[in-house]
Structure 1
Amino acid sequence: MAQLYYRYSTMNAGKSIEVIKVAYNYEERDKRALVLTSALDNRYEIGKVTSRIGLEKEAIIIEDNTNILSVFLLENNKQKIDCVIIDECQFLKKHHVEELIEIVDSCNVPVLCYGLKNDFKNELFEGSYWLLVYADKIEEIKTICWCGRKATTNARVINGKIVKDGDQIQIGGNELYVPLCRKHYNDGTIKK
């Protein structure tokens, strides 16, 4: 029986490399993985899942008005899809998550979602919220703070200082965000 998986972590935990790895594992066994990613993620190239270590994978982009179920059905009619894999799932809207549920429940195809759970203010993204509500399996991909503790937050850093105000979505990588443990996020310590 297919399930909806939500695998989350902070920045720099290897989520995109997991997406690429899982897709590769399916394809290596002559199975088709439908890979999707947010149109908002423009750090590298739109329409590609790109890891910081340089690996990349073509992906269909998801915009706010994209109907993922329709995309799935169209692609499945061309060639059977065995798995749906989504990178940057924190940017999904409620209707996207509902469409993913339909793929799992009506089409019996597993859906694996990878993304952040909380933003730089330590608040849930819309996609994260609905995935926490509906996912059959929720798994944390762990990474560490500079101090060695488990990182649980994504601190936005501007001019060497943590900022906790601003728009929820500001696309950036290591130049803008750093994964921190709760203690160092709360006390504002970026590094010793």
Structure 2
Amino acid sequence: MLKFFWGPMDCGKSTMALQMNYNHARQGRNGLVLTRIDRSLGPQVTTRIGLAHEAIEVTDDLDLVALVRGRWADGFRVDYLICDEACFYGVAHVEQMAELVDRYDVDVFAFGLASDFRSCLFPAAQRLFELADEVCRIQVEVLCWCGRAGLLNARVVDGVVAREGARVVIGDTADAAEVRYQVLCRRHHRTGDLGPG
């Protein structure tokens, strides 16, 4: 089964990914944890609440099918993949996820944002919406500063909501302190209102 779990920042996607890995491993299943452009800037899945797990970094040239087949050739059974930050993967990676499910009976659980800071779908997220057997919005409530449901991730540069720029910029890290992200409702994302403060 290919399942895509999505939601805005702070809704617990990475936390849920690590919990799912734990639950499957506890039942004797063997899996691989993968990520791309994690906030830690390292090959690991990290959460805002302090959990972390080593992971395989997904690069443009990594073939997920070849990765799994290679592990099998080395005698390591792979029953499932946990794919965190899947919105940053390539569309080809999503096609490989579907192939792993359909051809090799490997379950794939993908976690990520749906849209970028401009509220446009990430290409990989769009393909996951199109191909996944199940698409699940993560239901941990995230609020805008006004109290409405937080739906969109605003990129804030020098205190202003950015409307242009590279699709992916890591923020909230020591190297990029002038860039941060804030979850906003649609109204305040459109107006660029970051609230009192």
TM-score scaled by structure 1?
0.92
Aligned ranges 1:81-120 → 2 under 5 Å: 81-120=78-117
* 1:111–1:188 CA distance, 2 compared to 1 (3 A): same
Matched, 1:4 2:8: no
Aligned ranges 1:37-186 → 2 under 5 Å: 37-38=35-36, 40-41=37-38, 43-77=39-73, 78-142=75-139, 143-173=142-172, 176-186=180-190
Amino acid aligned to 1:145: C
User: How big is the shift at 1:46?
Assistant: 1.4
CA distance in 1, matches of 2:72, 2:133: 23
Instruction: Write out per-residue CA displacement over residues 19-72 of structure 1, whole angstroms, 9 at most, x where no aligned residue.
Output: 11111111122211211111x33x314110011111111111100111011111
CA distance in 1, matches of 2:186, 2:28: 43
Matched, 1:16 2:14: yes
SS of alignment partner, residue 161 of structure 2: strand
CA distance in 2, matches of 1:115, 1:51: 13
CA distance in 1, matches of 2:116, 2:99: 27
User: How big is the shift at 1:147?
Assistant: 2.2
User: How big is the shift at 1:160?
Assistant: 1.6
Runs of 4+, deviation exceeding 3 Å = none
Point out where structure 1 has 5 or more consecutive residues left out of the alignment.
none
Amino acid aligned to 1:61: E
Determine the structure 1 residue equivalent to 2:176: none
Determine the structure 2 residue equivalent to 1:190: 194
CA distance in 1, matches of 2:105, 2:99: 9
Point out where structure 2 has 5 or more consecutive residues left out of the alignment.
174-178
> Percent same amino acid among aligned pairs?
35
